[in-house]
Structure formats: structure tokens, C-alpha cells
Amino acid sequence: MTATLEPTTTALPPLRLGALTVDPAVVLAPMAGITNPAFRTLCREFGAGLYVCEMITTQALVQRNAKTLRMIRATADEKDAFSVQLYGVDPVTVGRAVEMLVDEGVAGTRPAHIDLNFGCPVPKVTRKGGGSALPWHRVLLQNIVREAVRAAGDVPVTIKTRIGIDADHVTYLDAGRIAQDEGAAAITLHGRTADQLYSGTADWGPIARLVETVDIPVLGNGDIWEADDALRMVAETGCAGVVIGRGCLGRPWLFGDLAAAFAGESRRALPAFREVAAIMHRHAELLTEEHGELHGCSDFRKHVAWYLKGFSVGGDVRRALAMVSSLDELAGLLAGIPDQPYPTAVLGAPRGRTSTPRPVALPEGWLLDRDDPRPPVGAELETSGG
């Protein structure tokens, strides 16, 4: 069902990334193990926008790692808007990976958009100088963005970053200027430092300051749990669009809410459990089509708690759903749960991973020379994801 609430409505123009138009100006953030073809398809069915695949390691792509090549398959309905996020710390490797995507069509589909990850706070990435650690080395960042833009040609390249490593090592303004000067089409800023991980509350103030500093579009990211959070972010920061991560976990209909909000409409989805159950089954079906029934249902298990958040479901049923191994078993378990209204008490509540702040793992001596252009020794990860 849908509900007509009384939120502030703000029509937002489409986002222009080179020749690519993103309407509404909403981007699904890459999430390891989540934003596979099945989840991207499900989200797209609820609302238009741009849906980015899981993060791809450039070294693995250049080496034509079989798992990596499977991860960059486009679905039938994203042939004209296939979006890839790349992780890398070496300009030459990043450039070669972009060439493979754009010139060779190694993914089977030429991407319409390429994003560069400079925001991942995961220790296995930062301790090698990648993700949110890399912008501290501004010359290296400049060289990577320059090489990616050169190799991409007419395909727009964007970057995603965080405020900095920590409060004493802030990088986002330099990163924005570098992105603009090297020809990036836009920059996404997550309103946390790397040492905050996913703790506390995102600070949207730096997003507003970045908007004032650069001329390219700035996309805001961090703590958008509802469509009205997105409207508030746009109003407070002047950002040109939003990037959605944890807020859509177990709630792919959020993209429909965002499309309505940015069209100036007040309708919001509040699906009763029977509707949510149908979405859950659809999600598992899409994963089954991609991986086979056993693997697909196993992969679906991680989504169960997110979908059921706030609903009255017995512990035994929850445990059984978290161990489901077939579509029929899933359908039977869902059918046994009484229909009930959407639990509005969970609206606006955080979803997905949370954490406490902790010091960022960095390569030895990483903070000493901001203008060292050399990639960290042995920094490229061997596999995709993270």
C-alpha cells in the first residue's frame, strides 16, 4: 500500500553525468555481497536512477579473474545504464582496467558510467593505502583520476570519498578540486571520516562546503533512511543528488519513495507484510535465476532480518527463514506469517552494519608525505569486493 504523508516536497532536476541522464538523481551505492544483478534489478523495478555493481578490484580485472568477470555482468534492463565502481591504487592498472571496460567490452556491455572508490574504510583496503586512505596522497589521487578519465573517453567518471582519514587528516576539499580539475563528472561525499566507519551520525556540513567549493555536481551520502531524509539533505547542502546504501537494505521500495519525493510528490510506500513477503520471494527468485536455487536461497538469507525488521514474527520462523534452502520452503514459511501493517516505528531507524570508531589501519609512514606519487608497494588486492 502507499500512504500520503505531509513531508516537505522538493522537485529535483535530473543529474547530468556527461551524456548520461540520471532521473531521478538517485544512485544505489555499491555494497559488497549486496548490489549483485538480482538486487539491482529489484531496486530498479521500484524506481529509476543509477544502480552501481559491487566494487571491482582493478588488479583482478586486469588479470581477468573469473569471479571478477562474473561480477561485472550487466542485466538485460541496464544495457544503456550499466554502472561499475572500481578500486585501485596504481594509475597504470586503473587506466588499463578502464580501457578493458570501455574499449574491449570485457563486461559484455560497455559501461555508461564508471565510479572510483576512494571512500571504503575497511581495514584490508586502507592498510594498503586504498579506499578512504588514498586521498591523503593527493598527487597519487590526481594521477589515478587523470588516467581513468583519459582511458574512459566519453564515458563519465565519478569519484566517491569520505571527509578524511580522521578529524586531523581531512581530505575531501582537495579531493573535490582534484576531481574537478582532472575531468571527473561528479563527486560523492559520505559524511563521515574513515575512522568513524559507520558509527554515530553522518555530518552533512562538509557536503554543503564541498558544493560551495567545486563546480561539478556533488552527491550526498550518509544516513538517508527515508525519502524525506534525502529531501532534507538536498535542502541543507544543495547537493545535486543522493547515493543510497544501507537505507535500502530490506526496503528496495525506498527507490520508489525517492522517485516520488524528487518529483515533488508526497506519496510513500508502507507495504503490509503480504506485500513484503511477495518482494522477498521475488528477490530470492532473482538470486536463484542468477546462481541456482540452493546458492540463490543461501545468498538470500542475509537479507531476511532486514526485510523482517519491526514485523511481528516468531523466533522459530525467523531462524527457519535464515536457513532457507529452496523457493518452496521460503514461500511456505512466508505464507504462515499473519498479514500485518508496516511497522512505522522502524521508519528512520538505521539499517545494516554499525560499528564503533577505531583508528584507521594505514601503510607504514603513510601520513608523512602527501605529495608522494608512488602507489604503495604490494597494495593491489587480489580479489574483488570489500
Catalytic residue annotation:
120
From the list 37, 38, 36, 9, the residue with the least C-alpha distance to 24 is: 9
Q: Give the DSSP H/E element, type plus range, for residue 148.
A: helix 138-152
Distance between CA 46 and CA 252 in Å, rounded? 7
Distance between CA 82 and CA 228 in Å, rounded? 27
Phi, psi of 379 (to 5 degrees): -85, -25
Task: Render the burial of 150-165: b for 16+ CB within 10 Å, e for the rest.
Answer: ebbeebbbbbbbbbbb
Phi, psi of 166 (to 5 degrees): -160, -175
Distance between CA 242 and CA 234 in Å, rounded? 8
Q: Give the DSSP H/E element, type plus range, for residue 17.
A: strand 15-17
Distance between CA 334 and CA 330 in Å, rounded? 6
Secondary-structure percent of the chain, ordered helix, strand, coil, rounded to 5 = 40, 15, 45
Q: Give the DSSP H/E element, type plus range, for residue 113.
A: strand 113-118
Q: Can you read off the three cell numbers belonging to residue 248?
A: 535500502
Supply the Cα-derived Rg of the chain in whole angstroms: 20
Contact partners, residue 66, CB within 8 Å, separation at least 6? none
The one-character DSSP state at 77 is G
Amino acid type, 165: I
